[in-house]
Structure 1
Amino acid sequence: MAYSAFWKAASILSAFLASTNAQSSANSATPTASIETVEIGGTPTTFRSIFTIPASADEGAPLLPNVNDPQAIDAQNVCPGYKASQLQKNDNGLSAVLTLAGAPCNVYGNEVDVLNLKVEYQAENRLAINISPANLSPSNSSWFILPDDLVPRPVSESNPGQSDLEFAWGNNPSFWLSVTRRSTGDVLFSSQGRKIVYEDQFIEFGSSLPEDYNLYGLGERIHGLRLGNNLTATIFAADVGDPIDYNIYGSHPFYLDTRYFEKDGNGKRSLVKNSIIDERGYSGKRSPSNTSYESYSHGVYLRNAHPQEVLLRPDSITWRTLGGSIDLIFFDGPTQPEVTKQFQVSTIGLPAMQMYWGFGYHQCRWGYANWTELRGIVQSFRDFDIPLETIWVDIDYMDQYRDFTLDPHTFPPSGVKDFFDWIHGNNQHFVPIVDSAIYIPNPTNASDAYDTYARGNSSGSFLNNPDGSQYIGAVWPGYTVFPDWLSASGVSWWVNEMVEWYKEVPFSGIWIDMSEVSSFCVGSCGTGNVTLNPVHPPFALPGEAGNVIYDYPEGFNITNATEAASALAASSSQQAAMATANEAPTSTVYLRTTPTPGERNVNHPPYVINNVQGDLAVHAVSPNATHHNGVEEYDVHNLFGHQILNATYQGLLGVFPGKRPFIIGRSTFSGSGKWAGHWGGDNASKWYYMYFSIPQALSFSLFGIPMFGVDTCGFNGNTDYELCSRWMQLSAFFPFYRNHNTLSANSQEPFRWASVANATKTAMQIRYSLLPYMYTLFYNAHTTGSTVMRALAWEFPNDIQLAGVDTQFLLGPSLLITPVLQPQVSTVKGVFPGIAEGEVWYDWYTETKVDAQAGVNATIDAPLGHIPVFVRGGSILPTQEPGYTTTESRKNPWGLIVALSANGEAEGELYVDDGESIEPADSLFISFKAGNKSLDANVEGGYKDENALGTVNIMGISEVGNVTLNGQGVAGGNVVFDAEKQTLKIKLNDATSGGAWQGHWTLSWK
């Protein structure tokens, strides 16, 4: 959770009223007054008043991003580039030396005279290009090259084979490089006509791109799936409340490039422009009858963790980083599924297999006040018969917001046994938030002792200032220190804290927050000030000082007119005050720095990236914070969230040996998926945020983090019944399914409205019945790198009209979800892909074929409480009768949905194991294949499952003969054929009472 733009505006006013004569600097915020007594975490401190850190403590230098600065120097105009020489070829590639082609420009850093070029054909589908400074030594502090043990770099295979990727280079007028697809001659990347600029704080390189290109990825940001050709994609981990088009929590310097080609009747091949794609995709215009299409996709990964931005312009892509190296890895695909698999298997690692219970429904709120309320929420779900798997708690449970503690008044340890015996007895789970900063106790108050800090401090596990003193920022509990994941003891200290805390609080998994890493002041503001601890953050918390949310979704004033009028009147004075507080100065003098020979300015680099917070130190640990091995935070900021997920993974292995850790984290990097899932951060209760959840989820499919979901119904602001109904149904088809909102907004558990409760139960009934299908998708993702949520364009790669579609998605290959994403409507537009190639789609609810036309954006009925779901013909979906929890569901009979293709065939698969072991002792893998009026199940593995096969539901069947199982007739009372709907339901409970997967079987209806 972060403070959003709303809270920031409110906090300016609050801080202005609350603080007097306060001052701050880049290194400290010196208090001059004790302001007020404030309750923290529900528990008042009794020994002293609490100082409020002045709002000015989190104000950075006035900076103007280079891309917006009319005075900015274009490095391409003043820098000389390089010349290649000393070329040496080997079996897997080549190497060369790049020498500066003229006088150094030193425009945004100190230019490097000599670089090393290494090109590796690492595998048949993978090419790596590395450009790094020559003559690096460990003592050269001006350079930080990402170590392989921190972020693994793929290595060459012993026999890479013939690659379809071809590297070329030239020296005219300066060194350039290109990558071409041999089989098509398509140029995938070319820096010809562009110089490489290589300085210690600024690296620039780029490539031409085809007109109207299709690029996806480059996260994390709130944006449509296709990035467009006028975007500056900043990659710098930021604690900020989900602004549109800016950098937020994660750092994923990877993109997918998909190109569509048109072939006419004579075989002539040409690139298709997006204007044609979009015209046909949204207007329904068809292609000429003698035209066919094909697509090719490739991936590009820049293995660089420094602050950076990627400039997407109409005909080019330009990468600008503030350090590191050019370490490009190309994946040739040639389809999206293959690119994603190549990226994960060879480079970033395969995503973690999730606990089965993780796919149940999760409920959270910032504001659950005590054990009694928490238990009441859980009980209310059961009273309303809304499945609840896991209850989550935000920072309310902590003792004054300190990690690994319980508030002694509201969440006392004495209440733990009763609560956890009850919840675990109901097969439900508990996940607490854990923040990324550690409170530093007040040395003048013995009662303020904090053992977690003491153990970390004694083991040298926290970040320092450049002078060796402890770096002290500020987060929720007050002045805090920050774990040093590069220290020798940081991870082991964290593991120990988790293991010890579990003895007090038997949690099931961990939620990691604030891990960008966030700090509420610029610099080591706590240095010299810790005798004031605990202190209040430099902004008003939700619910404090009249901070009440009056914001509602679009359309709220129509469906809730009376309440909307009341809210508007109540908020008018506050809005006026906030508007005054937000008045901008009439002019700004921006800080511009210039390079100093032999030195780096990490706090204010000469090149200013378009960071959402401006100054790199605002709302973050400052770039000059120093790790125990001498590395500055500037060089590894984007990896803090990645590293704390690794440490937490190790900690949960210590708590639950041999079991899969369940972790949801906010800040991620390429490869974080092998440890954790991710939620979309601090969104708002707005319809557009519900829409953006789809492209955000699909982007994380590309990044190898399939366990993704968002704060359903919205985090900031108040939701209403219409938005929450639609959103609860949409999120039921996301892998991670959680409702969560902020402290002072209205409660939004689905049972708060009858319409939301009913809509939720309808969608949950589908989700829980499909848990075996979803679990199998995750098994495939974990073992092969396949995706779970899929863009339509990925599953139907030669359909040009799908390139920009992100209002629909596929769950696996077989389920098409078409949600309502706007208020006040009872229909939704959607396409049915593949119709022209003979695909068949079935309505989930009616089980009948959809009467769809190729290339038409159809109007689909979707009254409130109904989310359109369609099953793809040719699919076999494993199901299980849903129970209230996943534990109960796993004890129920299995089922199969067989959706026959136009030619009467279908296939599918099911993976079964114990649902929790990292390395299950046994498992089952069942492959299903239907055709010629029969269904075969081939069973492999030794896992024992005794649940019967309940109903086999076959759709698209025109006639039925004798129904037999392994040659034995099935009693007529267990067979129901509906000729009008063309469905056949066969009940096999009795025939498979010993277990559905005891061995191979054949079901026939010939």
Structure 2
Amino acid sequence: MARSSFIRTALILCPFLALTTGQNTSSSADGSSHSATPTTADAEWSTTVAGTPTKFRSIFTIPASADDGANLLPNIEDPKAVNAQDICPGYKVSQVQEDEHGLTAVLTLAGKPCNAYGNDIKVLNLKVEYQAANRLVINISPANIDASNSSWYIVPEDLIPRPKPDSTYGDIDLEFDWDDEPSFWFSVTRYSTGDVLFTTEDTTLVYEDQFIEFVSALPEDYNLYGLGERIHGLRLNHNLTATIYAADAGDPIDRNIYGSHPFYLDTRYFKTGYSGGGSEHESYSHGVYLRNLHGQEVQLQPESITWRTLGGSIDLFFFDGPTQAEVTKQYQTSAIGLPAMQQYWGFGYHQCRWGYRNWTELREIINTFRDFDIPLETIWVDIDYMDQYRDFTLDPFTYPPSGVKEFFDKLHEDGQHFIPIVDSAIYIPNPNNASDAYDTYTRGNESGVFMTNPDGSQYIGAVWPGYTVFPDWMSASGVQWWVNEMVEWYKEVPYDGFWIDMSEVSSFCIGSCGTGNVTMNPVHPPFALPGEEGNVIYDYPEGFNITNATEAASASSASSSQAAKTSTSVTVTSSTSTSYLRTIPTPGVRNVGHPPYVISNVQGDLAVHAVSPNATHANGVQEYDVHNVWGHQILNATYQGLLKVFPGKRPFIIGRSTFAGSGKWTGHWGGDNASKWYYMYFSIPQALSFSLFGIPMFGVDTCGFNGNTDYELCSRWMQLSAFFPFYRNHNVLSALAQEPYRWESVASATRTAMHIRYSLLPYMYTLFYKAHTTGSTVMRALAWEFPNEPQLAGVDTQFLLGPSILVTPVLEPQVDTVKGVFPGIIDGEVWYDWYTQEKVRAKAGVNTTIDAPLGHIPIFVRGGSVLPLQEPGYTTRESRKNPWGLIVALSEDGDAKGELYIDDGESLEPSGTLEITFRAGDGKLKADVKGSYKDANALGNVTILGVDSIGKVKLNGKSIDGAEYDEDTRVLKLDLKDVTSCGAWQGSWTLSWE
């Protein structure tokens, strides 16, 4: 589960989408938000769970008020806020030096300092670099930076690498222009088309120590994607404030959440002519990345984009594409790094729950999956397994060490895996209680690896176990200490990967609230956990009153009656005016706690539910300057730890808080969603956005984390998620269990979708190899794969898995059809139904109604594709021993192509690999095999779609018996197991049928 997403409902922009009515959202053990009623602010004691649902004791409860911040009003909503564009003077240009590599210049404040939301920096350096054929960089930073000046923070290259120029710069198609009338402005133009990609003309550059603002015009009806992380449609709205600030918040709509990705893709369509089907278009895409770690706010308006940051520098990268695929590759290969190659088993099915109580229940869950013949690759545990929620521990009563060997021997013998959640804060033991000793803290404390207050004392916040400290990844020993803890714990618990949570980094109180209070440890969080008294989940599945009206009315009455017994009456006094904290700049001083400019942060105050901005790192840097990469850094440390535990093997990590470049270490899940249909829909644009961010290993809590699901929603969702790279079901403590075998209809739908998924694992694995080596995407928006169809620009209810699989899921209740578009038909594209293997009859550019009864997810294969398959086994280990298969879906011209990559599925640097290229045409399929990896599996079923006629079927010139050809469907089926019994890929071959 995701642990501590704590959001006040007043901050949700769409109150009708709130998870529950009249309740605050508080965090779950995994950092997610859960429906919870906070304890009252003056409560001192509470009976609570201490590591297990059955062992109780009284401990101090942190007051809810401990996490109340200052009352702030975001500047974009503040009628009293000044517009820096109106009052700031901008800059004048001097000392320009230009050559073939770019230019440098000095920018000097053009008038009296405005000090709008910080202290104006009077002299700036401008550096423009034509770095490569596809990359232009504009850097604007303060002049005269030295170690004694801490009023701004420039990102070190050893923390976030900076792309370097290469020899291709002379071929660049981007052009930089500037002027300083009335003050400095610049533009970036695509030289070949004359299209202005970015221009600050008629706007003012504002550069202060705590506030930077620059504005660019955008064309009418622009198409922007990215600027994450948030729950939003794929194409960004034209009236949206996209805040970028890592926040532990349980998936509110349109607000900043866990990750920070200051990158966007801009796609523009140009009319090129007319045809019988209407206007013809072509598109050009480019990407923009701001290499800045500070809290940011990107305001989109109908004709402009305004970028604001709370400090740092302008380090602006332009990638010229001109296609989405090229932009994504350029961004990853040059700027942030290529995504990690995943272990093969990571693509199997994963099951988790906050609420698995002991080793016995875990074994029962695993056995029940097998009893229902639902493949299970990996079992996950939430914070239940820990001793009082402390990292690197086991609850001695429910997950005793004595049960480890039996559990793991059987699990690993069966080819299955185990992933534990690991939180990001470290419990600080009660110094007055010797039995409370915690070696992980002791070793870290002795090594000086925890963050401090500005005065040098230890910064002590609060998370699940009570008062906690926070690793400082900038300390000399921080990473090594974490690695050592992972190594030592593996000796006790032989895990297979890590699930990192709470890494924004989250804290349940403002500031160092544990200072002076550690003798009270352990303490309870300042809110009730799901299932505790006063926080029982009463909500019924979303569609319950539609299909079960009588039962719903009865249940609602009972629920209201129970609520009445436990509720307290509250009187709310309205006021005609509200007082907000507003701060003004102080010369030479930064206010990191409450910056003069207030970004639209989901939690309001930057210190709410987070480590405070004044927490200090070993190098003197404050959290204010690097908050957005804390989660990025723990992922790096965890990656190093898994390399130590499993030398030479690919680390498997799923993390919550990410930054640009985190994909080279980790995958990501979508956080604390809810069992609502709209969250199932939002999972698609979430996944597609993370494709742009270079983190293709993405999935969500299938069937929803918060609240109660039902058979219809879970059936549809289990089928949808089967086509996401990361496939996991996970839900909250005290909600109804939602393993897919709980309903026969869900079990049946799951088996159907999993059979397709596991058949396609070779295809998916090959897509990941291409992503890992070239930066290509795995899940793709239709608009990206078909760039000349502007009507696809906003489509996010369908998606492509690679170039060849079209998924059109049902995303609403009580229907048995779904509408979907078949892209490319206007240009002669052919689509085949996965199930019937027949050509789809659809018109170009219109929505087609597709049959989709419950238990059926429409899947289509693109003509011109060769799909490598493998007969599914119960686990990926079993699957890898089964015969191969191929689907050859011919285009209208009778052509097709595809690829297959094979290695041992786990090594960082495999000793042998195979790369097979398939090409079909003129009644032949050729397989070109290269590489040294030994695979002895035969080639079983080969299915060729769209065959007009057949003659003799031959393999390498030798006739084959047993061909089945259906003249009505034009499908040719072959079974080649006998003739390829020595291995499908022992050498290149040609299969012919004419």
TMscore range, shorter length: over 0.9
CA contact (8 A) 1:43 1:399 kept: no
Q: How far apart, CA to CA, are the structure 1 residues paired with 2:129 and 2:561?
A: 64
Aligned match of 2:834 in 831, 844, 849? Answer: 844
User: Structure 2 counterpart of 1:36, which letter?
Assistant: S
Aligned match of 2:51 in 41, 47, 59? Answer: 41
Q: Secondary structure at the match of 1:249?
A: coil
Structure 1 residue 168: Cα displacement: 0.2
Give the equivalent residue in structure 2 for 1:9.
24
Q: How far apart, CA to CA, are the structure 1 residues paired with 2:976 and 2:555?
A: 56
User: Structure 2 counterpart of 1:881, which letter?
Assistant: E
CA 1:117–1:821: 2 relative to 1, 3 Å: same
Q: How far apart, CA to CA, are the structure 1 residues paired with 2:563 and 2:335?
A: 49
Q: CA RMSD in A?
A: 1.7
CA 1:678–1:11: 2 relative to 1, 3 Å: closer
Deviations 1:265-297 (A, max 9, x none): 6xxxxxxxxxxxxxxxxxxxxx87573210000
CA 1:747–1:562: 2 relative to 1, 3 Å: farther
Give the equivalent residue in structure 2 for 1:112.
121
Deviations 1:492-541 (A, max 9, x none): 00000000000000000000000000000000000000000000000000
Aligned match of 2:134 in 104, 125, 132? Answer: 125
Structure 1 residue 14: Cα displacement: 8.3
Q: How far apart, CA to CA, are the structure 2 residues paired with 1:859 and 1:317?
A: 38
The answer to which of 556-565 and 506-515 deviates more is 556-565
CA 1:843–1:581: 2 relative to 1, 3 Å: farther
Give the equivalent residue in structure 1 for 2:104.
95
CA contact (8 A) 1:15 1:54 kept: no
Give the equivalent residue in structure 1 for 2:618.
628
Listed as ranges, the matches of 1:152-191 within 5 Å are 152-191=161-200
- Correspondence 1:217 to 2:226: yes
Deviations 1:913-967 (A, max 9, x none): 0000000000000000011101100000000000000011001112111011111
CA contact (8 A) 2:422 2:499 kept: yes
Structure 1 residue 568: Cα displacement: 2.0
Structure 1 residue 556: Cα displacement: 2.3
Aligned match of 1:330 in 311, 318, 321? Answer: 318
Aligned match of 1:135 in 136, 144, 167? Answer: 144
Q: Secondary structure at the match of 2:388?
A: coil
Give the equivalent residue in structure 1 for 2:589.
599
Q: Secondary structure at the match of 1:38?
A: strand
The runs of 5 or more residues in structure 2 that have no matched partner are 8-18, 28-34
CA contact (8 A) 1:713 1:719 kept: yes
CA contact (8 A) 1:10 1:547 kept: no
Q: How far apart, CA to CA, are the structure 2 residues paired with 1:728 and 1:42?
A: 29
Q: How far apart, CA to CA, are the structure 1 residues paired with 2:702 and 2:131?
A: 42
CA 1:835–1:421: 2 relative to 1, 3 Å: same
Give the equivalent residue in structure 2 for 1:395.
383
Give the equivalent residue in structure 2 for 1:914.
904
Give the equivalent residue in structure 1 for 2:154.
145
- Correspondence 1:259 to 2:274: no
Aligned pairs, how many?
Answer: 970
- Correspondence 1:312 to 2:300: yes
User: Structure 1 counterpart of 2:680, which letter?
Assistant: M
Q: How far apart, CA to CA, are the structure 2 residues paired with 1:403 and 1:463?
A: 17
User: Structure 2 counterpart of 1:950, which letter?
Assistant: G
Q: How far apart, CA to CA, are the structure 1 residues paired with 2:277 and 2:761?
A: 42
Structure 1 residue 163: Cα displacement: 0.8
Give the equivalent residue in structure 2 for 1:202.
211
User: Structure 2 counterpart of 1:257, which letter?
Assistant: D
Q: How far apart, CA to CA, are the structure 1 residues paired with 2:966 and 2:541?
A: 44
User: Structure 1 counterpart of 2:695, which letter?
Assistant: I
Aligned match of 1:415 in 386, 400, 403? Answer: 403
Q: Secondary structure at the match of 2:170?
A: coil
Q: How far apart, CA to CA, are the structure 2 residues paired with 1:478 and 1:67?
A: 36
The answer to which of 619-628 and 542-551 deviates more is 542-551
Q: Secondary structure at the match of 1:926?
A: strand
Give the equivalent residue in structure 1 for 2:981.
993
Aligned match of 1:935 in 910, 918, 925? Answer: 925
CA contact (8 A) 2:903 2:912 kept: yes
Q: How far apart, CA to CA, are the structure 2 residues paired with 1:498 and 1:329?
A: 37
Q: Secondary structure at the match of 2:85?
A: helix
Aligned match of 2:824 in 834, 845, 860? Answer: 834
CA contact (8 A) 1:512 1:664 kept: yes
Q: Secondary structure at the match of 2:169?
A: coil
Q: Secondary structure at the match of 1:295?
A: strand
Q: How far apart, CA to CA, are the structure 2 residues paired with 1:862 and 1:443?
A: 62
Q: Secondary structure at the match of 1:882?
A: coil
Give the equivalent residue in structure 1 for 2:414.
426
- Correspondence 1:778 to 2:768: yes
Q: How far apart, CA to CA, are the structure 1 residues paired with 2:568 and 2:504?
A: 29
- Correspondence 1:344 to 2:332: yes
Q: How far apart, CA to CA, are the structure 2 residues paired with 1:556 and 1:357?
A: 37
- Correspondence 1:869 to 2:869: no
Q: How far apart, CA to CA, are the structure 2 residues paired with 1:534 and 1:293?
A: 64
Deviations 1:725-776 (A, max 9, x none): 0000000000000000000110000000000000000000000000000000
Give the equivalent residue in structure 2 for 1:29.
none
Aligned match of 1:767 in 729, 732, 757? Answer: 757
- Correspondence 1:734 to 2:734: no
Q: How far apart, CA to CA, are the structure 2 residues paired with 1:582 and 1:474?
A: 30
CA 1:98–1:758: 2 relative to 1, 3 Å: same
User: Structure 2 counterpart of 1:422, which letter?
Assistant: K
Structure 1 residue 9: Cα displacement: 2.0
Give the equivalent residue in structure 2 for 1:662.
652
Deviations 1:176-221 (A, max 9, x none): 0000000100000000011010000000001000011100000000
User: Structure 2 counterpart of 1:229, which letter?
Assistant: H
- Correspondence 1:469 to 2:479: no
Give the equivalent residue in structure 2 for 1:692.
682
The runs of 5 or more residues in structure 1 that have no matched partner are 23-32, 266-286
Q: Secondary structure at the match of 1:299?
A: strand
CA contact (8 A) 1:552 1:685 kept: no
TM-score for the superposition, normalised by structure 1:
0.95
CA 1:16–1:242: 2 relative to 1, 3 Å: closer
- Aligned-pair identity in percent equals 76
Give the equivalent residue in structure 2 for 1:279.
none
User: Structure 1 counterpart of 2:669, which letter?
Assistant: W
Q: Secondary structure at the match of 1:813?
A: coil
Deviations 1:970-994 (A, max 9, x none): 12xx311111111011110010000
CA contact (8 A) 1:15 1:55 kept: no
Give the equivalent residue in structure 2 for 1:51.
60
Give the equivalent residue in structure 1 for 2:84.
75
The answer to which of 826-835 and 586-595 deviates more is 586-595
CA contact (8 A) 1:19 1:52 kept: no
CA 1:623–1:947: 2 relative to 1, 3 Å: same
Give the equivalent residue in structure 2 for 1:276.
none
CA 1:356–1:562: 2 relative to 1, 3 Å: farther
Listed as ranges, the matches of 1:605-624 within 5 Å are 605-624=595-614
Aligned match of 2:781 in 766, 788, 791? Answer: 791
Q: How far apart, CA to CA, are the structure 2 residues paired with 1:580 and 1:308?
A: 40
Q: How far apart, CA to CA, are the structure 1 residues paired with 2:425 and 2:570?
A: 30
Deviations 1:626-648 (A, max 9, x none): 00110000000000110000000
- Correspondence 1:719 to 2:729: no
User: Structure 2 counterpart of 1:726, which letter?
Assistant: R
CA contact (8 A) 2:831 2:863 kept: yes
Give the equivalent residue in structure 2 for 1:494.
482
Q: How far apart, CA to CA, are the structure 2 residues paired with 1:815 and 1:38?
A: 49
Structure 1 residue 862: Cα displacement: 0.2
Q: How far apart, CA to CA, are the structure 2 residues paired with 1:583 and 1:10?
A: 20
CA contact (8 A) 2:528 2:534 kept: no
Give the equivalent residue in structure 2 for 1:815.
805
User: Structure 2 counterpart of 1:471, which letter?
Assistant: Y
Structure 1 residue 550: Cα displacement: 2.5
Structure 1 residue 10: Cα displacement: 7.2
Structure 1 residue 143: Cα displacement: 1.1
Q: Secondary structure at the match of 1:407?
A: coil
User: Structure 2 counterpart of 1:188, which letter?
Assistant: L
Give the equivalent residue in structure 1 for 2:954.
964
Q: How far apart, CA to CA, are the structure 1 residues paired with 2:378 and 2:713?
A: 23
The answer to which of 829-838 and 572-581 deviates more is 572-581
Q: Secondary structure at the match of 1:935?
A: strand
- Correspondence 1:541 to 2:541: no
CA contact (8 A) 1:389 1:886 kept: yes
Structure 1 residue 16: Cα displacement: 7.3
